[in-house]
Amino acid sequence: MRRYLVPVLVFVLLVGVISAHGEVTEEIADNYPFETALELSRILDRQLMFSFLSASCPHCQDFKDNILSDTGVKEILSSHFVLSLVTLDETFKIELPGRGEVTNMQLASGLGLEGTPTTYVFYPPDPELLQEEQGITRFPGNPPDPESLIDLLERIATESFKEQEKGEGPIYYNYSPSIKEISKKDFNFLQETKVKIPVLSEKVGLSSLPDVRELIVNFSDNSLKEYSENIISETSVEKVYLVKD
**Helix, strand or coil, per DSSP, at residue 216:** strand
CB 118 within 8 A of CB 84: no
Cα→Cα distances 210→79, 204, 206, 207, Å: 16, 11, 9, 8
Pairing state between β 100-103 and 81-87: unpaired
| Sequence-distant (≥ 6) Cβ neighbours of residue 47 within 8 angstroms | 41, 80, 81, 82, 121, 122, 123, 124, 136, 156, 157, 173, 174
Determine how many CB atoms are found less than 10 A away from the CB of residue 172.
Answer: 21
* Residue 196 pLDDT > 50: yes
* Residue 19 pLDDT > 50: no
CB 223 within 8 A of CB 203: no
CA 18 to chain CA centroid, nearest Å: 23
* Residue 6 pLDDT > 60: no
For the whole model, what pTM was predicted? Answer: 0.83
Residue 94 corresponds to which amino acid?
A: I
Determine how many CB atoms are found less than 10 A away from the CB of residue 122.
Answer: 21
CB 88 within 8 A of CB 108: yes
Q: Which tens digit of pLDDT belongs to each residue from 42-63?
A: 999 999 999 999 999 999 999 9
Q: Which tens digit of pLDDT belongs to each residue from 201-212?
A: 999 999 999 999
Give the burial string for 43-71 (b: 16+ CB within 10 Å, else e): bbbbbbbbbbbeeebebbebbbbbbbbbe
Q: Which tens digit of pLDDT belongs to each residue from 131-183?
A: 656 678 889 988 889 999 999 999 999 975 454 444 556 789 999 999 999 99
What is the spatial distance between Cα 185 and Cα 2, in angstroms, rounded to a whole number?
28
What is the spatial distance between Cα 130 and Cα 95, in angstroms, rounded to a whole number?
12
What confidence score (pLDDT) does residue 2 get? 36
* Domains of the chain, start order: 34-163 (3.40.30.10), 175-244 (3.40.250)
Q: Identify the helix (H) or strand (E) that includes residue 195.
A: none
CB 119 within 8 A of CB 138: yes
What average pLDDT does this structure show over 10-25?
37
What is the spatial distance between Cα 93 and Cα 82, in angstroms, rounded to a whole number?
20
